[in-house]
Copies of this chain bind each other. A is one copy, B any other.
Amino acid sequence: MRIEILNTGTELLLGTTLNTHGKWFGEQLFKLGMRIQRLTTVPDGDAITEALRECVGRADAVIVTGGLGPTSDDLTREATAAVVGAELIEDEAALRSLEAFFAARNKVMADSNRKQAQVLVGADVLPNPNGTAPGIYVPPRLNKAANCAVFLLPGPPRELYPMFRDEVAPRLVALAGLSKPPGMLELRLTGIGESDLQQEIDAKLAAIPGLEVGYCARIGEVDLRLIGDDAAVAAGREIAVSMFAKQIFSEDGSSLEATVVRLMAARGLKLATAESCTGGLIANRVTDVPGSSEVFTHGFVTYANEAKRDLLGVPQAMLDEHGAVSEPVVRAMAEGALKASGADVAVAVTGIAGPGGGTADKPVGTVWLAWAAKGRETLSLRQIHPRNRKDFKLAVSQAALDGVRRLVG
């Protein structure tokens, strides 16, 4: 079924309001086995008519949000009447419901609200227990322009969400003749780039009948999305896991930091961090995870050399001889953090975030990472991430957390 969403509201295009309807409708429709074919956002006013006419010409069902209020620029009802060729009349039940809404709040209904009781002749009125504007459902048989269903819904989420659940979803299911929703699996990978992943796996996944494949790249991460019936998704997963078992850190949408916290909590392990160039980002990501206090105890942000020396016990002579961005120093930082915190695992990073501070030997983007753990040899690694400052920090934090994951996983 071809479904389009039409969001109306000047505030959505002025930069003042973030439009979250696309994500929300995408989630809801996905659960019904449906997709959004197109989402259009237009300002309040006349633009609605033109946009709705186009949507109705392309889709089997159009969901319109907003423009059902009492003010002069709330024109969704009028636009819909014009497009589908129906008349507006005042609905007695809707008017009584409006009056009851105000009475229950000890308020007098303004005259302007009366237009919210107007509905298209023959359409279903969708009750709105959480606001004044009822929704309207125009079934395809009423639509003189095209064989397309139209839903008019209020914009505010507290009114929209329950109305979708109670009134819209059942009607969409009936329109479609419900089939089982497709399966979907999102694998999150780190330690491999989007194009390398695709080059290695795409042909193999393409050979699975009925499997749809999507890639989404973030810094230090690629998401691989498998969509299809259960057998196709399972076959795709088997290929991905057999090729990239080490890189896959999540099959349920969890972030890398949540994966680290989950793995360490399950093993009763404690984590400490010693950060120079990431400046607290690793600790910040870990503590974004609810329950991280079970795992994370001490974070050292040793930005100055004196901090590396005084808090982590990095010898001044080592700093003088090798510089702060060096393998001996990062190893001493990790081992010093392990000792000072009493944690089971400590990760340390020291690098040059830029824009200043680079040299020919150690260009901006250079970073040393180390992982120290009780009873294990300390690991260390050099990487180069020539990115802007914030992206450098993010890429380094990703590599640092991934090293912890591999150590404790």
Contact = CB atoms under 8 A, between A and B. Distances in A.
A88 B353 CA distance: 37
Contacts of A23: 12, 15-19
Interface in A15-68: 15-20, 22-30, 35-44, 47, 51, 54
Interface stretch (A142-150, A169-177, A281-289): A281-289
A10 interface: yes
Interface string A235-272: 00000000000000000000000000000000000000
B16 A25 contact: no
8 contacts: A13-B22, A39-B42, A40-B41, A105-B386, A158-B388, A284-B284, A299-B303, A300-B300
Contact of A384 (B106, B279, B297, B387): B106
Given A105-B386, A299-B301, A311-B298, A71 B216 contact: no
Number of copies: 2
Contact of A299 (B41, B202, B299): B299
Given A15-B23, A214-B73, A280-B301, A354 B290 contact: yes
Contacts of A30: 14-15
Interface of A: 10-20, 22-30, 35-44, 47, 51, 54, 69-73, 104-107, 110-113, 130, 156, 158, 186, 193-196, 198-199, 202, 214-219, 225, 273, 275, 278-284, 286-288, 290-293, 296-304, 306-307, 310-311, 340-342, 353-357, 384-391, 393
**7 shortest A-B CB distances, which residue pairs?**
A279-B287, A299-B301, A15-B26, A15-B27, A280-B283, A280-B280, A297-B304
- By secondary structure, the A interface counts as mixed
Contacts of A35: 13-14, 43
B307 A303 contact: no
A145 to B, nearest CB: 18
Contact of A215 (B16, B39, B303): B16
Nearest to A72: B202
A342 B198 CA distance: 51
Nearest to A214: B10
A15 to B, nearest CB: 3
B293 A303 contact: yes
A194 B287 contact: no
A21 to B, nearest CB: 10
A72 B72 CA distance: 47
B112 A216 contact: no
A9 to B, nearest CB: 8
B15 A24 contact: yes
Contacts of A356: 290-291
A15 B69 contact: no
B41 A15 contact: no
Contacts of A388: 130, 158
Nearest to A195: B110
Contacts of A384: 104-106
Nearest to A132: B195
B303 A280 contact: no
Contacts of A37: 13, 42-43, 47
Nearest to A16: B216
- Most B-side CB within 10 Å, residue of A12, A280, A390, A393: A280
A264 to B, nearest CB: 13
Given A39-B42, A296-B304, 8 more contacts: A16-B23, A16-B215, A17-B23, A40-B41, A71-B215, A158-B391, A293-B303, A297-B307
Given A24-B15, A47-B38, A284-B284, A296 B303 contact: yes
Nearest to A113: B195
A290 B15 contact: no
Contact of A17 (B16, B216, B311): B216
A54 to B, nearest CB: 7
